[in-house]
Structure 1
Amino acid sequence: MEQKRILLIIGGGIAAYKSLELIRELGRRGIASRCIVTRGGQEFVTPLSVAALSGDKAYTELFDLDEEAEMGHIQLSRSADLVVVCPATADLMAKANAGLANDLASTTLLATDKPVLMVPAMNVRMWQHAATIRNVAQLRADGVTVMEPDEGAMACGEFGPGRLPDVPVIVAEIEAALSGQASGPLAGVHALITAGPTREPLDPVRYLSNHSSGRQGYAIASALAAAGASVTLVSGPVALAPPRNVNLVQVETARQMLKACEDALPADVFVSVAAVADWRPARAATKKLKIKAVDTEAPAMELAENPDILRTLSNKRKHRPRLVVGFAAETHDVEAYARAKLERKGCDWIIANDVSGDVMGGADNEVVLITRETSERWPRMGKDEVARRLAGKIAAELGHDGGLKLAAE
């Protein structure tokens, strides 16, 4: 890491005080910091303290006559190996997503050609707000690395996700970004995930499908990638941006999904989240089916059973993943049906959820983790939090749990 340099943008939040510790820890590892302190950031740390620790001037103003005579914001944006935003406030992420450039920090983010790492810190409601969720998803789709915040008590007195990760965790992420190597408790693990619905064609314009949005599967893929895993996401048709650092394979039908999963093996863990159609039309029409007359009876439809992807991968003789996790979407007797499914499919865990309400397509989920020995009910939480907690459980099961922050039990 000798002679590596980051450009650190310090946002306006109470967690800004930790940026001073971050500068010092990076310096001990030979990583130099050049810093921009936003106007909000200056409410919590002073440019003088930042300059003293970094050994460089702290930059604060876009319209600095001395700096801008030489287009200082452009030089700042190109002078580092990595741009780090810490803390990344909801406001800074919203500006970056929208491409705004009304201060030095946002202008530099828009002008940079370097990788960008954002370390969020904000109130739990702000982190879970639909606007922030959209902004984070789009930033990741644009190639920005957005770390997951920690969960815990906050300065405002509330509890939940939104705390700045511990400084050693941030340092490790920066070192990994600078070295171009994956880091985290699941580094070296290949995770295979399925998500979304499948579509089984009736004719060229109609199909059988379901209401799955794919949000839970995409959240799990993102959480596993954030934990350092190499992730292959096999997805049915959804209206979601691909998670960052994930190999996305898009399919339509159940048979296509099975083939894509088998092609992706070997894998260390398989999480079957997709809502796969159990049946398909035995013969799809090559032309649009027409109604011949008002009094004509509805045409009979012959159905064929689709392949069972979860059972197929659970019972592989060769290349069976070390851990196979299924999902059981039920509307009643959830735990009983899920445990029966675990036995029938031959998988290791089942995540059971009640989809009789707003789970399919919604932002929250309430699940039960069922293993062969135990049942563990989790409270209702955002799908991103379900994903983080599951990533922690997977890391612990595979013996890769060092340093992974689990959601509160």
Structure 2
Amino acid sequence: MDSKRLEVVMQRTKRLLDNAKTFQSTEESFQFDQADLKRQLQQISNQLHRGRIQSLKNKRIVCSVLGACVRMSSSNSTIIHKEIKQGSFDVIVFEEGGFVTLAEALEILPYFSSCIVAGDHLQLPPVVKTEEAKRLGYDKSFMEYVVEKLPSRHFLLETQYRSHFMISGWSSRVLYESRLKAGRRNKNIRLADSYDRGCSTLRNNPLIWLDHAGLGYNEGHDDVPDSHESYHNEHEAKLVARMYDHFRSEMGIPESEVGIISCYWAQVAHIRQSLEEINPGYSSATVRTIDGYQGKEKDVIIVSMARSNLSWDLGMMDDVRRINVAITRAKRHCCLIGDSQTFSYDENYEILLKGLKKKSCVVSLRSFQQKMGDEGFDFGPVEIEQKFAEQRRIRREERNREKSGNIMSV
């Protein structure tokens, strides 16, 4: 907006304020002209609108949220959307392209001569809430379509500059054809580089699976308001809280560098409760769902897997993109806490567990407790749900016999 227009706007605004003051002080004797006030407000609004348009046209690069670019209805068309339709821009860049739906992209693509999509279609997909929309394929991102239909125009940035190479190694193998490498400065970073206190297993190993298989820590489920059925694991939530306490109080890692992630809101709620039971000061700890953590990072990430059942049902956790996001939020250390028996029947988790076992990084809860005790730390007792543990043992034997029978029949 040029200086003359700005001066006009300022003068009219001052006049409005003066009129308002006069109206307040002499309400009984002064008959306020409402129509004139509306006319003045409309003139100011028009001046500001023209100023925004002119300012927009003078800019070579404009950053905007996607919602402002896409016309949601005929009565809700923003300034930037109108400028897009008039062909004011040549190139559009979608940042976090994995979140952009095909419908959103097609709404504005015809008005640009070139398009660049940046992001990762192998992380979380767009948020689509209705089952009908999912059935029609609207939960598939625009970036997925681009990679699928135009593979020759898909380029992978092959170096990640966040995590230790072990943290990104599984994702690289399962999702990125073993092409994703760690940068020179971060490929060997560990907690031991910055912290000399606490359990040596945690300080020296960038990625571990703390395993409570066989202890009978069965999952439960809650009905979360405004959400679908959500699962929790009370014993695991307490275990997560104890691990968090060790990272904070024994190792001295600041709150800003320790995060907790789970796939389910119910588990998030149970973890928060368990943290406050240990220390009311932990109420401000960062505990979120996987969906709410994409794009963020911490030195330490604790992942609560939550699922533990006799049917080996993983629910949302069977989407490999979710665990990809969860693990790769960590820079120096990622601690996965879960029941390896429940997850080992999934092909992708089997690869993860086998790789960690080769490096002695699948640690049973009992041996971890003993290790902590040997190093002088009190990690608390290991609880056993004997009834569920026995059921799990019997069901596992049945499953192994079924697998053996299938192999022999083949």
TM-score (norm 1): 0.27
- Asked which structure has the greater CA Rg, the reply is 2
Normalized per residue, the structure richer in helix is 2
Normalized per residue, the structure richer in strand is 1
Structure ranking higher on relative contact order (CA contacts 8 Å, 6+ apart) = 2
